[in-house]
Structure 1
């Protein structure tokens, strides 16, 4: 089957930073494919049926104000006439997956600093979290940290594990049908999260929303195999990240190797997409450019390109799982 014959599968993607772009960049528009790979025309062209939109803040003074702007931007997108459909329950998930015109959207929180400043009472942070959940109507997942450490634990570039506040946040999430995301934890924090969930018998789904595999490309943002096994064991999700720095700086086909490695590790029912499209033009590190290999630089072409490259290696059923079924099944299960 060649590219032209390959079915254009529906796609679910677990992570993008469209809200940050629209909130923070002068002249930003959800239509500007030339500025961000998850612009709405690109999502439509790529047959994306559900896009998770992250609310991101760095752990710095004013983090909750920045997240609040993104919360309000999500609400605006949900009400504007732009063919976006808020996905808040299983019924609206099914509507999004079957729609010919509309793109489903659901919010997530990338870094708990977005609802709790470093120096404010944790109770106030939980009130802000409740506001985000109420205004967005549904939060799919929360990551405790980003690259650096915060009051909840160590991020990707830190070494320490969970704090008392981190444990209290996990206790808060028990039974709320919100997943905890391991994509931006230190290895120690990831292990501590899993240990606390097990010791306290907490009902919290576990995912890695936009991470690849450290065995294939050594980077702190990628998952060691022991965490892959834990996520698989807990029936979670692993969203494949399209950023060059986390794949292989020179080889665009490395994304195929990451996917095949995951399948080889028993993750065939966990793999999905977490492309991690964001606005890169103002990034201060010139060594990161280009952020994406050309083959993966925007949603309108990247998913189908990747699925077509995998077609000789995987069955149609395996491709469907990767494109949308695993993610849709997970969401339906934790929300039911």
Structure 2
């Protein structure tokens, strides 16, 4: 039997940039599927029951103000009468999976520059992070960096490891039930984070919210096997990214191959989705088009298409784990 509107599975997705779109793009509209793949109607159509909303900032002057606009947009979305509802505790998480026509949402921070400028006291950054948690009520994960280096460490386009501020941020996160995201770290920073967590015996979950596998497609945004194994060992999550650039620019079935590769490496209880939908109409680099293969263009049909393609290869239990169970169990565990 194929998955259709009657049998489709609930979906949990670990990463999208709807907040950036709504705060940064003139005349943006959360209902415009033609402009962003995670528009609200697409999330509903795709049976997305929990969507993580990234608060993103580039490293640079004004990064915290840019993030505050998205923080406030998250709060506005929770206050509006629409299909999006905040999920900030385990009870709401359970309810989200059962609520017809609704998509739960929880905030995350993509680049710690969003709460701490490069040249201000770290204490100010921690106060701003506390305010962000207060306004959003919950932060699921924090990425220390984006593609460039910052005061906390090296981004995925750099070779830098962790800094003293990065270690202090880890110490601050101990026991706070906020995961550290490895999707935008340099390899050096990723392993420095893990070493510091182990050395100091810190209670911090680790994930890769929107990354694929480097042996399948050589790109610094994808995970090397050693890091994949660390995330699996630590009972973390690996969210499969739908961007063509991180899959294989010539193979429309590459996402399926990445999933099969992850399963072969023992990631059955870690794999989930991190589609990474964002607004790209202003992108001038023509080599990046199409950003997504046609079957992955928006949330309304992408997840069902992928799960349908996998049905002949995977058991129903494996499909459910990828669709929502792995992410659900992880969130339930770290929030309980």
The TM-score, its normalising length taken from structure 1, stands at 0.99
Alignment RMSD (CA, Å) = 0.9
Within the alignment, does 1:303 sit opposite 2:271 as a pair? no
Within the alignment, does 1:155 sit opposite 2:155 as a pair? yes
Give distance in 2, aligned partners of 1:160 and 1:68.
27
Within the alignment, does 1:245 sit opposite 2:257 as a pair? no
**Are the aligned partners of 2:57 and 2:113 in contact in 1 as well (CA < 8 Å)?**
yes
Q: How many residues align?
A: 336
Partner of 1:274: 274
Give distance in 2, aligned partners of 1:317 and 1:216.
25
Deviation string 1:186-214 (CA, Å, 9 cap, x unpaired) is: 00000000000000000000000000000
The CA deviation at 1:284 is 3.2
Give distance in 2, aligned partners of 1:235 and 1:285.
38
Within the alignment, does 1:325 sit opposite 2:325 as a pair? yes
Trace 1:188-203 onto structure 2 (pairs within 5 A): 188-203=188-203
| Structure 2 unaligned regions, length at least 5 | none
The CA deviation at 1:7 is 2.3
Deviation string 1:96-120 (CA, Å, 9 cap, x unpaired) is: 0111121100000000000000011
CA gap of 1:4–1:106, structure 2 versus 1, over 3 A, is closer
The CA deviation at 1:4 is 4.3
Give distance in 2, aligned partners of 1:50 and 1:30.
16
* Mean Cα deviation higher: 200-209 or 281-290: 281-290
Secondary structure of 2:319 counterpart: helix
**Are the aligned partners of 1:64 and 1:115 in contact in 2 as well (CA < 8 Å)?**
yes
Partner of 1:21: 21
The TM-score, its normalising length taken from structure 2, stands at 0.99
Partner of 1:263: 263
Give distance in 2, aligned partners of 1:196 and 1:284.
40
Give distance in 2, aligned partners of 1:254 and 1:102.
30
Trace 1:56-95 onto structure 2 (pairs within 5 A): 56-95=56-95
Deviation string 1:32-52 (CA, Å, 9 cap, x unpaired) is: 000000000000000000000
* Mean Cα deviation higher: 77-86 or 299-308: 77-86
Give distance in 1, aligned partners of 2:210 and 2:65.
25
Give distance in 1, aligned partners of 2:252 and 2:296.
8
Partner of 2:106: 106
Secondary structure of 2:104 counterpart: strand
Secondary structure of 2:228 counterpart: helix
CA gap of 1:82–1:5, structure 2 versus 1, over 3 A, is closer
Deviation string 1:183-242 (CA, Å, 9 cap, x unpaired) is: 000000000000000000000000000000001000000000000000000000000000
Give distance in 2, aligned partners of 1:218 and 1:284.
23
Partner of 1:316: 316
Secondary structure of 1:299 counterpart: coil
Give distance in 2, aligned partners of 1:284 and 1:71.
28
| Structure 1 unaligned regions, length at least 5 | none
Secondary structure of 1:36 counterpart: coil
The CA deviation at 1:78 is 0.5
Give distance in 1, aligned partners of 2:313 and 2:6.
14
CA gap of 1:250–1:33, structure 2 versus 1, over 3 A, is same
Give distance in 1, aligned partners of 2:135 and 2:311.
41
**Are the aligned partners of 2:4 and 2:304 in contact in 1 as well (CA < 8 Å)?**
no
Partner of 1:220: 220
Give distance in 2, aligned partners of 1:252 and 1:181.
27
